[in-house]
Chains A and B, each alone.
Chain A
Amino acid sequence: MDGTYRPGPFGRSLAWVTALYLVLPILIVIPVALTDQRYLSLPQDGISFRHFETVLTSPEWLGSIWQSFTIAVAATVLSVSAGTLCAIGCWRISRRATELVRVLMLLPLIIPSIVYAIGLYRYFGPLGLLDRFAGVVIAHGVTGIPYVVITVSTALASFDPRLEQAARGMGASLSQTLRWVILPRIAPGIFSGAIFAFIHSWDELVMVLFIASRDVFTLPRRIWDGINENLDPAMAAVAVLLILFTLALLMADRALRRRSEG
């Protein structure tokens, strides 16, 4: 819009208040993490990095961070491979025939994770997947598939199907067409999907509360216990580290999209 019509004073101020309401409470954890006190508070006589030091030298926190990271990487691999292939298949086969698959793909976004979590709690018991790395990877990987399907489908929407037909017409096999024609074109969409699937697993708590207990103790689980048991500034330091990590991932995604758009 070229600026010929602007919101009035009421709309403008409500928008500003909302933006501050969205952003400020998140930023408040930064000064709290830098406090020189032993309890949750703003810095009194200067800032201190000791709460970051506490976190980054604690074997419990580092162990959970590493565990969350490896689970998220494995879950992302699962979501991206299954999701990308599914999106390509749905794109090539007609809309009508794949309607069921498309609806199925929306379910993990619609059904609350508490319902899935209690389902897994019962289902994983006999399979021996409770409190196992593999169990959490499966849970996170499967629920991450829709994010990949959505981003890859968006990327495919701008892909000319005649390129695929030309490749096939010139004798390329299905796997050659996938590898040399389709995948390179939709790589940015796949990467976006990977970032979303990664964040989905990295932040996930509800399933983990039910299907993991002692051996698998992810970062969100440790934060959850911290909030419910001992509120100390180390928690704020963890929050700041998480915010920085999320921002870095989002910036990577933005940069990549900008580059692919030219």
Chain B
Amino acid sequence: MSSVGRPGIGWWLLILPAFALLLVFYIAPIVQVLTISVTEPSLGFGNYQRILTSSAVQRVIMTTLRICLITTVLALLLGYAIAYAITLASPRARGWWVLAVLVPLWISVLVRAFAWVTLLRRQGLINNTLIEAGVITDPLPLVWNEFGIVVGMVHYMVPFAVLPMLSSMREIDPRLLAAARGLGASRGEVFRHVFLPLSLPGVIAAAVLVFIFTLGFYITPAILGGGKTLMVAEWISLQILDLIRWGLGTMMATVLVLAILVTLAVFSRVVDLRRIFGAGA
């Protein structure tokens, strides 16, 4: 399209409203609040020293990383199975599989957390059923702890894991699998030596996406953790709304943003980021 020449100023004006809105009402508030981390309560990096000295801060970071890693591994495993099934399904069955992924994706995160509370709490449906069946006598602690958070988080993240893996698996030529089978490879060998290596870019993209989403997640851990197991996002909210410690809260927010940006920067060499987010819609 070079023959018509450079686009005129009019086309740049089209970008202006969105650009200005994001600059004034998105970037500015975030930059402003993150600078508080080095200005309150006193100028300097005092808040950041707390990472090295405060055991409470360290505990929150460790809890968050642990839950994030467990969630990412489980979401990848389950998501891989679904993406694999979708890729190899007949066109008719494929529609149903995709629906099983997309419908949960778009249903309100609050509705899903509420559903898990209904199922997992002490007098919840699972505990009641197990007690009535005589399997257990005392209710199991299924929620308001780390277990509950992981169950809810994995449930939220599986669809996000499926989409990038699916787009990468769809590029695999099905004739390769049939050919490998025809040449005498067992089902397991076809998977290990042909399918899995070819799908790895999608797996890495999915891992990055799920990990960074999980790091800053607020609603599900807050509801299913019951205030006892704190992850970073809930801890930030606690510092700012309840304890009014802006310096500490914004310090953790800065650390969170940096962790996410560093993760993305490291993996942008391996995977195409735009592809990850393009697949979300």
Contacts and interface: CB of A to CB of B under 8 A. Distances in A.
Given A42-B125, A123-B32, A142 B11 contact: no
B233 A82 contact: no
Contacts of A224: 110, 219
A26 B212 contact: no
A46 B229 CA distance: 38
A235 B112 CA distance: 12
A102 B84 CA distance: 31
Contacts of A104: 19, 22-23, 27
A235 B114 contact: yes
Task: Identify the 3 closest CB pairs spanning chains A and B, nearest first.
Answer: A112-B216, A89-B14, A119-B29
A18 B15 contact: no
A92 B7 contact: yes
Nearest to B28: A123
A252 interface: no
Chain B interface mostly helix, strand, loop or mixed? helix
Contacts of A199: 106
A251 to B, nearest CB: 10
Interface in A135-163: 138-139, 141-143, 145, 147, 149-151, 154, 161-162
Interface in B67-99: 77-79, 81-82, 84-85, 87-90, 97
A235 to B, nearest CB: 6
Nearest to B5: A165
Interface of A: 1-8, 11-12, 14-15, 17-19, 21-23, 25-26, 28-29, 32, 40-42, 78, 81-83, 85-86, 88-90, 92-93, 98, 101-102, 104-116, 118-124, 138-139, 141-143, 145, 147, 149-151, 154, 161-162, 165, 168-169, 174, 192, 196, 199, 203, 205-206, 209-210, 220, 223-224, 227-228, 231, 235-236, 239, 242-243, 246-247, 249-250
Q: How large is the interface on B (under 10, 10 to 19, 20 to 34, 35 or more residues)?
A: 35 or more
22 contacts: A3-B90, A4-B177, A5-B181, A7-B88, A15-B97, A18-B78, A22-B101, A23-B104, A25-B155, A28-B115, A40-B118, A42-B125, A101-B15, A112-B215, A113-B216, A114-B218, A122-B29, A123-B32, A169-B4, A174-B8, A223-B110, A236-B118
B81 A114 contact: no
Interface of B: 1, 3-4, 7-8, 10-15, 17-19, 21-23, 25-30, 32-34, 36, 77-79, 81-82, 84-85, 87-90, 97, 100-104, 106-119, 121, 123-125, 128, 155, 158-159, 174, 177-178, 181, 187-188, 190-191, 212, 215-219, 223, 233, 236-237, 240-241, 246, 249-250, 253, 256-257, 260-261, 264, 273-274, 277-278, 280-281
A98 B21 CA distance: 16
A152 to B, nearest CB: 10
A145 B18 contact: yes
A246 B108 contact: yes
Contacts of B240: 118, 121
Contact of B33 (A40, A119, A206, A246): A119
A199 B104 CA distance: 13
B114 A118 contact: no
Chain A interface mostly helix, strand, loop or mixed? helix
Nearest to A245: B108
A106 B158 contact: no
Contacts of B3: 165
Contacts of B274: 102, 106
A93 B12 contact: yes
A150 B33 contact: no
Nearest to A7: B88
Contacts of B155: 21-22, 25
Given A5-B181, A5-B190, A109-B277, 19 more contacts: A1-B88, A5-B88, A5-B178, A8-B191, A14-B77, A25-B115, A98-B15, A108-B22, A119-B30, A121-B240, A122-B32, A142-B22, A142-B25, A142-B26, A147-B281, A154-B281, A169-B4, A196-B281, A239-B114
B237 A111 contact: no
Contacts of B178: 4-5
Nearest to B1: A161
Given A5-B181, A118-B250, A86 B14 contact: yes
A227 B281 contact: no
A203 B21 contact: no
Contacts of B280: 109, 150
Contacts of B109: 203, 205
B117 A231 contact: yes
B106 A246 contact: yes
A183 to B, nearest CB: 12
A242 B246 CA distance: 35
A101 B19 contact: yes
